[in-house]
Amino acid sequence: MFLDVKSINTFYDVFHAIFDVSLCLDKGEVVCLLGRNGAGKTTTLTSIVGLNPPRSGSVTLNGVPISGKRAYQIARMGVGYVPENRWIISELTVRDNLELGCRRKSDTQIAAALESMYELFPRLKDLGHRVGGTLSGGEQQMLALARALVSKPELLLMDEVTIGLAPLVVQMLKSTILTLKQNRNTILLTEQNALFALDVSDRVYVIDKGAIVYDGTVDQVRKEHAVMSKYLGL
- Rounded to 5 degrees, what are φ and ψ at 153? -65, 150
pTM of the model: 0.94
Compute the distance between CA of residue 178 and CA of residue 125 in angstroms, rounded to an integer.
21
Instruction: Say how many C-beta atoms besides its own lie within 10 A of residue 113's C-beta.
Output: 21
d(CA 212, CA 227): 12
**Per-residue confidence in pLDDT tens, the chain, 234 aa:** 899 999 999 999 999 999 999 999 999 999 999 999 999 999 999 999 999 999 999 999 999 999 989 999 999 999 999 999 889 999 999 999 999 888 767 788 888 989 999 999 999 999 989 999 999 999 999 999 999 999 899 999 999 999 989 999 999 999 999 999 999 999 999 998 999 999 999 999 999 999 999 999 999 999 999 999 999 887
Widest distance between CA atoms in the chain: 54
CB proximity list for 46: less than 8 A, separation 6 or greater: 10, 52
Rounded to the nearest 10°, the torsion over CA 41, 204, 153, 114 is -90
